[in-house]
A = this chain, B = another copy of it.
Amino acid sequence: MQKLAFIGFGVVGQGLAEILLKKKKELKANFGYEFSVVAVSDFNKGSALKQDGLDLSTLLELAGDNKISEYPGAEAGLNALETIRKSNADVVVEVSYTNIETGEPAHSHFKAALEAGKHLVTTNKGPTALFLRDLVALAAKNGVQLRYEGTVVAGTPVLNLNDLCLAGNEVTEIRGILNGTTNFILTNMEKGRSYENVLKEAQELGYAEAKPDADVEGWDALAKVMILAKSVMRADISVEDVDRTGITGIKLEDIEAAKKEGKRYKLIGKVTREGGGVRASVRPEKVDLTDPLASVGGATNALTFVTDLLGEVTIVGPGAGRVETGFSLLADLLTIHRTQ
C-alpha cells in the first residue's frame, strides 16, 4: 500500500486524483497496486492530513471550492514542508507552482521529501531542470526514487522509455518537438496564416499565455532540453549553455521557401553528445518531410533518440493536458511499486 502526500493540488494533481479514483479496482487487479492519500497541501486550496487516508471524492469536491482545510476529521493548517515532514507518506507527489528561475518553493519541497526518506514523483520542471544531479544524489543517499516523467512531453513515455526500455543503448543524440504551443503556431502558419493571427487563436484556445514568451521564445523547450541532457546524457549543463532561438523571427516567406525544398520548420530541442560533454540547442530547424518529426502537427510532441544499438527510435504523443500529465505521475508511482 503506497501512502501518498500531494504537494500542490491544481490541474495536474487533480488529474492524477481522478485517475486513481476511477481506476482503483483495475490497478489493484492488474498490478497489485494499492494506494492511500494521507495528505494534501495546496497554497490556495488548503491542507488536510489524515494518517489513515483521505477519501478522494471528498477531496476533489472540497478542492473545487478551495476548502480542503475543511476536510472532516483531518488536521488542517499545515504548509507544504510541514505536510511532507509530518505525514506518514511513502511517496510525495510534488505538483506545486513551477518557477524556472530559482526552482522555489518546489526545490525545498523536493529536498525535504528526499531527506525524509520519501520517494518523489513530480511534473515540476523548475527544480528538475536546475538541480537534477544534486537531487539524484540526494535520492540515492536516502535510498529512495526520484521520478519525473511528466516534466517532458507530459505522460508520453520519454524518460521512462529511456530508463526502462532503451537501457543498454548509448544515446548519442536526442532531438524533438518539445513545445505544443509553438508547434501549433508553426503548423497553422503553413496554411498561410500570419504569426500574429495564429498566436491570437492559440491564446483564445488557452494554448498560449497572454505573455507568450515562455513558449514562443523557447524557454519552456529549453527547460526540457536541460532535463533531457541531465537525465539521459548525464551531462551537467546550465541555462547559458543552451543555444536558444524562439519562433518569433520565422516569417511566412521562410515557411514557403522551406516547403519548396521539401522541408518544414519545427522548433527543435536538441542535445548531442560531443567529446566528453554535450551540445544543446532550441531553435527553428528545417526538417525533411521524411523525418518522423515532420508529420507531428498541432499540439502533439515527439522525440527521437539516436542510439548505438537501435539507430533512431521516435516516440510521438500528447505534450500537455490534465489527464495526460496526471498519467505521468501514475506511471512513476507504478514504477516505484514495481521496483521496490
Residues of B within 8 A of A290 (CB): 295, 297
Residue contact B165 to A164, C-beta cutoff 8 Å = yes
> Quick one: which of A289-336 are within 8 Å of B by CB?
289-292, 294-297, 309-318, 323-324, 326-327, 330-331, 334-335
| C-alpha gap A4/B229 in the complex (Å) | 34
| C-alpha gap A169/B31 in the complex (Å) | 12
Please tell me the size bucket of the interface on A: 35 or more
Residue in B161, B295, B309, B316 whose beta carbon sits within 8 Å of that of A161 in the complex: B161
| C-alpha gap A20/B167 in the complex (Å) | 13
Residues of B within 8 A of A21 (CB): none
Residues of B within 8 A of A324 (CB): 309-311
Instruction: Specify how many copies of this chain sit in the oligomer.
Output: 2
| C-alpha gap A314/B164 in the complex (Å) | 17
Query: Which of A136-144, A152-160, A239-247, A272-280 is near enough to bind chain B?
Result: A152-160
Against B, the Cβ 8 Å flags (1 = close, 0 = not) of A45-57 are: 0000000000000
Interface of A is mostly: mixed
> Quick one: which of A25-78 are within 8 Å of B by CB?
27, 30-31
What residue of chain B has the Cβ atom nearest to residue A295's Cβ?
B295
Residue contact A335 to B164, C-beta cutoff 8 Å = yes
| C-alpha gap A19/B297 in the complex (Å) | 37
Residue contact B310 to A317, C-beta cutoff 8 Å = yes
Give 6 A-B contacts (CB < 8 Å), ordered by A residue. Answer: A30-B167, A157-B165, A160-B164, A291-B295, A309-B327, A311-B318
16 additional A-B residue pairs with CB within 8 Å, beyond A168-B331, A292-B296 = A157-B313, A161-B161, A164-B164, A164-B165, A165-B165, A166-B331, A168-B330, A289-B295, A309-B326, A309-B327, A309-B330, A311-B317, A311-B324, A314-B315, A315-B316, A338-B339
